[in-house]
Chain A
Amino acid sequence: MTEASGNVGIVIVSHSPLVAEGTADMVRQMVGDEVRVAWCGGDPAGGLGTSVEAIMQAIDRAWTDAGVAILVDLGGAETNSEMAVEMIGEPRAGRIAICNAPIVEGAVMAATEASGGAPLSAVVATAQELSPL
C-alpha cells in the first residue's frame, strides 16, 4: 500500500483526452504520488466526448476507501459521470462526488486538499470554492 491509498482519489473527465491528460499532469506536478489520479477523455469511438465505461474504469483506478472526487468539463461529461456513479452503485456511490468546479483549477485544488488527508466533503468544497455562486 502506498501513501496515496488513504487519501481521496481524483478523477478527471474531459471531452478531450488531451485536456484530461494535461490536467492530470498538472495535478501530479502538485501532489506527486500522494493522491491517486485517473483521467479519461473521448467518446467510445475515440472522438471528442465521454464514455460511461471509461469513467467507471477511471473511478476504479483512483479508488480509495476515502472516496473519489470527479472533475468534469462540459454537460455530457457531467451527465455521463452521474450515470457511471449510479451504475457503480452503493456502497461506493455514496463516496463519489462530482465537483461543480472548473476542471483544471478544480482538479489541482481538490488534489492538493486531498494530499493533506482531508475528507471527501472538504476536497469537494475546496474545488467548488472556485465556482461562481
Chain B
Amino acid sequence: MTQADLITRLVSTAQAVVSRHADELTQLDQAIGDGDHGSNLKRGFDAVASEAAALAEKPVGEALKAAGMKLVMTVGGASGPLFGTMLMTLGKELGDAPDRAAFASAFSKAVDAVAARGKSQQGQKTLLDVLYPVSDALAQGKSGGEIAAIAAGAADATVPVKATRGRASFLGERSIGHMDPGARSVSLLIAAVAPVLEGK
C-alpha cells in the first residue's frame, strides 16, 4: 500500500466509524456532558474527509498535522484541541518512514501532549483512560486485534469511575455508571484504524 493509499483509507475509515456511531456518542454525552460529542466529532471528521485528496498528496507526517489542524478548527468543543493535538503531535514526531518502534514512541508522546492540553491525567474518566493503555500495548508489541480489545475494555472500565475532569465532573457521584464518551470514541477509532495500519 502506498502512503497516499494509506492516508486515504485512514481518513475514510475514521470518518465512517465516527459517522456510524455519532448518535451513540451523543447519547453517552447527553448522560454526563453537554450532548454534542457525536455531532462535534462528525463535523470534524467530515471536514477532514472533504480534504482527503489533498491530504493524500502530503507525506504522512504532514497529512496528520493537517488533519489535526482541521479537527481543531472545526470540532467546536474541547475534543477539537484534544483530538487535534493527538494527530498534530503524531505527525510531528513520526519520521518519514516510521517502523513499529518509532510509531509507538510517537504515539506515547502524542498521548502525553493530549494530557498536557487537557491538564488531565489517567483515571479521571476521559479519553486518556483509553489512550494510555493503548500506548502501553503498542510499546509491548501487541497486535492490532489485541490493541482494539484493550481499547474497548479500557473504555468499558470508565463506567464505574467518578469523573474528576471535564464537564462530567460537575455531576460528581452521578457520573458513575456511564461510559465516558471520549473514551468510547477513541476506542472506536483505534479499533477501526488498527487493521488499516497493519495493512489489512
Residues on A facing B (Cβ under 8 Å): 15, 43-45, 47-53, 74-76, 79-80, 82-83, 87
Contact = CB atoms under 8 A, between A and B. Distances in A.
B74 interface: yes
B78 A45 contact: no
A100 B39 CA distance: 28
Given A48-B36, A52-B73, A79 B43 contact: no
A47 B36 contact: yes
B76 interface: yes
Contacts of B77: 43, 49-50, 76, 80
Given A45-B43, A47-B36, A48-B36, A76 B78 contact: yes
Interface in B65-82: 72-82
Contact of B81 (A15, A47, A48, A83): A83
B20 interface: no
Interface of B: 34, 36, 39-40, 43, 72-82, 84, 117-118, 166-167
A48 B43 CA distance: 14
A6 to B, nearest CB: 32
B73 A53 contact: yes
27 contacts: A15-B34, A43-B36, A43-B40, A43-B75, A43-B76, A43-B77, A44-B73, A44-B76, A45-B43, A45-B76, A47-B36, A48-B34, A48-B36, A49-B40, A49-B76, A51-B73, A52-B72, A52-B80, A52-B81, A75-B78, A75-B166, A75-B167, A76-B80, A79-B81, A79-B117, A80-B77, A82-B81
Nearest to A78: B78
A115 to B, nearest CB: 31
B74 A44 contact: yes
Given A52-B81, A80-B81, A47 B76 contact: yes
A81 to B, nearest CB: 10
Contacts of A87: 72
Nearest to A87: B72
B174 to A, nearest CB: 18
A52 to B, nearest CB: 6
Contacts of A51: 73, 76
Contacts of A53: 73
Given A44-B74, A47-B39, A49-B76, 12 more contacts: A44-B43, A44-B73, A52-B72, A52-B80, A74-B167, A75-B78, A75-B167, A76-B76, A76-B77, A79-B78, A79-B81, A83-B72
B76 A79 contact: no
Contacts of B81: 52, 79-80, 82-83
